[in-house]
């Protein structure tokens, strides 16, 4: 996951890595495309997809929240495909801190969701 317990992480947090304009990225789980975009943002090795790139029929709001020291509070989605549920498999920052404002509302994945670009 994006959180590290390393002291160096807190002293020198990684910031925006890259904005992939024109390079198509796709997130898939259980054979379904969850998100697809050529406007993803990479932060700490995670591809963040714009909110309009997700296939909303696969996303259910979750009560899960975590806190990153430099990005802020993350909210989560459960991902559902063909009756299978992957709890907390997608996250986003509805109100990120200034250092992460480029990913406001953008969605990233983990827990077995495959992201390719």
CA distances in angstroms from 37 to 13, 31, 62, 79, 86, listed in the order given: 26, 17, 23, 18, 22
Q: Tokens for 15, please give them.
A: 């910031």
Measured distance CA(27)–CA(75) in Å, rounded: 18
Where does residue 16 rank: exposed (0-12), middle (13-18), buried (19+ CB within 10 A)?
middle
pLDDT at position 83, please? 97
Domain spanning 10-116: which CATH class is it, in words?
mainly beta
pLDDT digits (tens), the chain, 117 positions: 344 333 233 333 445 555 666 789 999 999 999 999 999 999 999 999 999 999 999 999 999 999 999 999 999 999 999 999 999 999 999 999 999 999 999 999 999 999 998
pLDDT at position 22, please? 74
Measured distance CA(65)–CA(112) in Å, rounded: 19
pLDDT at position 17, please? 57
**Long-range pairs, 52-57, Cβ under 8 A, ≥24:** 53/107, 54/90, 54/107
pLDDT at position 19, please? 62
pLDDT at position 23, please? 86
């Amino acid at each position: 996951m994006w959180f590290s317990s390393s002291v160096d992480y807190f002293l020198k947090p990684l910031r925006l890595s890259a904005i992939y304009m024109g390079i198509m990225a796709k997130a898939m789980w259980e054979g379904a495309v969850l998100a697809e975009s050529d406007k993803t943002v990479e932060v700490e090795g995670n591809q963040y997809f714009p909110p309009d790139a997700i296939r909303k029929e696969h996303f259910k709001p979750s009560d899960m929240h975590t806190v990153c020291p430099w990005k802020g509070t993350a909210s989560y989605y459960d991902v559902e495909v063909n009756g299978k549920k992957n709890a907390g498999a997608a996250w986003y920052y509805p109100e990120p801190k200034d250092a992460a404002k480029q990913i406001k509302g953008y969605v990233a994945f983990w827990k077995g969701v495959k992201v390719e670009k």
